[in-house]
Amino acid sequence: MNERPETNPLGEFDLIERFFKRPLSNSNPQILLGIGDDCALISCSAKDQPGALAISTDMLIEGRHFLPGADPGLLGHKALAVNLSDLAAMGATPTAFTLAIAMPEAKAEWLEDFSNGLLKIANHYHCPLIGGDTTAGPLTISITVFGRVNHTQALQRSNAQLGDDIWISGTVGDARLALGAIRQEWLLTPAEMALVAPRMHAPTPRIVLGQKLLGIAHAAVDVSDGLLGDLSHILKMSQVGAEIEIDQIPRSDTLSEQALERQRLCTLMGGDDYELCFTAPRVHRKTIQSLAKELDLNLTKIGVITPPTPSLMILLDDSGQILPAEESQHYLNSFDHFKTAT
Ligand code: ADP
Ligand code: MG
């Protein structure tokens, strides 16, 4: 009998690194940024204006990213919102998108609601649908979004600097709180669910914030898989460490009323919030606070960029105590399609 030896399952990021990511040195010099950031950047400069096309693809699969029978209007909204969020994380302005969709059968009523939800958010962000592909198959929605950004200012994950403040927009954790209730990990009252479920089903891409951060922030990432896991991409690519005051991370009133352990799990590891986590030099603190007022959006400082540390980041609680290494490592495990149990 041929038994294969047990091996560690490959993680999502390990497999991309090993099988798909290759050096760009010998390819087209127009490619400014390849695999590894929220978007790729392709140069498309006009005369004196350094410009780039920002490109990102995200896929939603029934049973994996959303439950069978999900509201088609919300699904249309979310499918584009999560892609726009990647543009926001580069500071890019939406240009257009393409849609590849597979569905088991063509139902006019479902399609009407789906396209209404999709095209409403597309109109809102002036990001028209310009092409795609349609086929029969298990319900899968794949969107590629295109945007434009001045690439000398684009918010790249690799550009965090020592001493930068670390900021987060809005509040985080509500989408995970809603998901936990749906999965029956915990109970929420109908009133609590009504408050947190929209964060999971109808996220807001922080496009204007991303644009306004150009020239102010050094690095940014959108929180799609878990705040600490997503932040760790910035730290690894910038070869720096971080100190995070975990109880300072802003959360909704509904989440604040939950047990502390659940609050921490939702704020540190919860995905699907689509807020922006960014780093910026101290000199811009006042500017960022004014920006928060201008946009009517909370921007909260949650930590600071430090020299690299073996544990990648140091987590501090409310009283300034460092969290035990094992607990910190646990919170660093963000969502991974091939490692996280669903
Ligand atoms: P995000 O959470 O911002 O959408 P991902 O975590 O999905 O980003 O992907 C991480 C990086 O790997 C991105 O730069 C993405 O473009 C790239 N990537 C993901 N899957 C593939 C693939 N199959 N082939 C090439 N690049 C990929
Ligand atoms: Mg992203």
User: In what helix (H) or strand (E) does residue 222 lie, and over which residues does it extend?
Assistant: strand 219-222
Question: Does residue 167 sit within a domain?
Answer: yes
Q: Is the pLDDT of residue 342 over 50?
A: no
* Spatial separation of the C-alpha atoms in residues 262 and 192, rounded to whole Å: 15
- The ligand placed nearest to the CA atom of residue 275 is 2
- 48 lies in the same domain as 187: no
pLDDT band at 109, cuts 50/70/90? very high
Q: Which of 149, 175, 208 is a domain's end point?
A: 149
- 174 lies in the same domain as 116: no
pLDDT at 334: 65
Instruction: Tell me the two tokens of residue 210.
Output: 């991303």
* Spatial separation of the C-alpha atoms in residues 256 and 264, rounded to whole Å: 10
**Each residue of 26-38: pLDDT tens digit?**
778 899 999 999 9
Residue 66 is given by DSSP the state B
pLDDT at 333: 75
Q: Is the pLDDT of residue 217 over 70?
A: yes
The answer for residues whose C-beta is within 8 angstroms of residue 79's C-beta and 6 or more apart is 58, 60, 99, 118, 141, 143
- 17 lies in the same domain as 90: yes
Which of 196, 185, 203 is CA-nearest to residue 341?
A: 185
Domain of residue 280: give its range.
157-331
CB under 6 Å to ligand 1: residues? 16, 20, 35-38, 58, 86, 224-225
Q: Of all protein residues, whose CA lies closest to atom 7 belonging to ligand 1?
A: 58
Q: Is the pLDDT of residue 65 over 50?
A: yes
Distance in Å, CA 131 to ligand 1 centroid = 21
- 114 lies in the same domain as 163: no
- 89 lies in the same domain as 172: no
Q: Is the pLDDT of residue 1 over 50?
A: no
User: In what helix (H) or strand (E) does residue 207 lie, and over which residues does it extend?
Assistant: helix 207-212
Q: Is the pLDDT of residue 223 over 60?
A: yes
- 130 lies in the same domain as 187: no
- 310 lies in the same domain as 174: yes
Q: What is the CATH number of the domain that holds 315?
A: 3.90.650.10
Q: Is the pLDDT of residue 293 over 70?
A: yes
**Each residue of 144-173: pLDDT tens digit?**
999 999 999 999 999 999 999 999 999 999
Question: Does residue 191 sit within a domain?
Answer: yes
Atom of ligand 1 nearest to the CA of 225: 2
pLDDT at 10: 86
- 218 lies in the same domain as 302: yes
- 119 lies in the same domain as 222: no
**Each residue of 121-143: pLDDT tens digit?**
999 999 999 999 999 999 999 99
Mean residue pLDDT across the chain: 93
Q: Is the pLDDT of residue 216 over 90?
A: yes
Q: Of all protein residues, whose CA lies closest to atom 6 belonging to ligand 1?
A: 13
Residue 138 is given by DSSP the state S
pLDDT at 60: 95
| Per-position DSSP letters for 8-63, written without gaps between them | PPPPHHHHIIIII----TTS-TTEEE-TTSSSEEEE--BTTB--EEEEEEEEEEBT
pLDDT at 335: 64
Question: Does residue 338 sit within a domain?
Answer: no
Question: Does residue 342 sit within a domain?
Answer: no
Instruction: Tell me the two tokens of residue 21.
Output: 């990511």
Share of the chain above pLDDT 90, in %: 85
The mean pLDDT value for 39-52 works out to 86
**Residue 101 — φ and ψ, nearest 5°?**
-135, 135
- The ligand placed nearest to the CA atom of residue 15 is 1
- 127 lies in the same domain as 229: no
**Each residue of 233-278: pLDDT tens digit?**
999 999 999 999 999 999 999 999 999 999 999 999 998 999 999 9
Atom of ligand 1 nearest to the CA of 230: 2
Q: Which of 115, 149, 183 is a domain's end point?
A: 149
Atom of ligand 1 nearest to the CA of 38: 3
Question: Does residue 126 sit within a domain?
Answer: yes
Distance in Å, CA 224 to ligand 2 centroid = 6
- 108 lies in the same domain as 170: no
pLDDT at 4: 47
**What percent of the residues of the chain are helix, what percent strand, and what percent coil, each to the nearest 5?**
35, 25, 40
**pTM exceeding the 0.85 threshold for the entire prediction:** yes
For the chain, the domain total comes to: 2
pLDDT at 3: 46
- 96 lies in the same domain as 138: yes
Distance in Å, CA 56 to ligand 1 centroid = 8
Share of the chain above pLDDT 70, in %: 95
| The dihedral formed by the CA atoms of 108, 122, 42 and 57, expressed in degrees to the nearest 10 | -50
Q: Is the pLDDT of residue 331 over 90?
A: no
- The ligand placed nearest to the CA atom of residue 336 is 1
Question: Does residue 339 sit within a domain?
Answer: no
Question: Does residue 103 sit within a domain?
Answer: yes
Distance in Å, CA 260 to ligand 1 centroid = 33
pLDDT at 136: 97
Q: Which of 117, 149, 181 is a domain's end point?
A: 149
